[in-house]
Amino acid sequence: PPMALGYDGLGFMFENLFAALLLFATAFEYWRGRDEAPALTVGITTLYSATAVSFMLCAAVLAWDGKLVLGHAPSNWAEELSLIVVIASMTGIGALSLALNQGRLARHHRRNALTDPLTGLLNRRALFDMHSHLPVGAFTAVVVFDLDNFKAINDEFGHATGDEVLKVFASELAGNLRPTDVAARMGGEEFALVLKRTLPETVEDTAERIRTALATRQIETETGSLRCTVSAGFAFGSKEGLRFDKVLSAADKALYDAKRGGRNRVTGSPFRRAS
């Protein structure tokens, strides 16, 4: 190393360049993740880059002077400027990093509050937050699914197996969604699906596809394999617009009709034609 050989001037140049390289690399990593919080990450990136430039200036001034041996710490205008930039930038980086972490925590807590931890789908609260304040139009449908005889599965195979069945159905549900569709676990073995810009035939086909996929699937669990079925009911909004909870209630009633009709079937509510 230059320092060990007595070339402290050269050593200070390399140290400044190495520090600048590390700072630029750090700035680049923040820049890559700027989509998370653009204003904060751009600010942090700028401060890290400014600090890196100040170290490069220090190296450049030493190189310009051409002294390979100094015998003391560098002292010039670039060093003084770098000191000011470092103090200001590190203070700013600390404040912005704290704000960034607080934002991450807030988003994490909100995501947890709105997500069902078992299935990864939205929960009931999230579904109502998204739709309860908007009228449901004539081309928006709500589908309610309920796993058939789920209590018997829990009683016979245990709750761990029941949880596995819920996750399997959630994956079938998620796998049949369009980008505009929204799926949620309402609680227990009940799920809901909101489909926009759709028609009764499309909704019925979607619900039937999900029902058939589950009915024909062999679910492997620690206690053995089993099959499970699901019933579904759906309802539409109206041209004038209806409250979300009213449409959900109509879909629920259609679901109970499906249960009374023998389970493992999809039933549409007459309510869907009330437009």
Q: Which residues are catalytic?
A: 189
Q: Quick one: tokens of 258? A: 């499906």
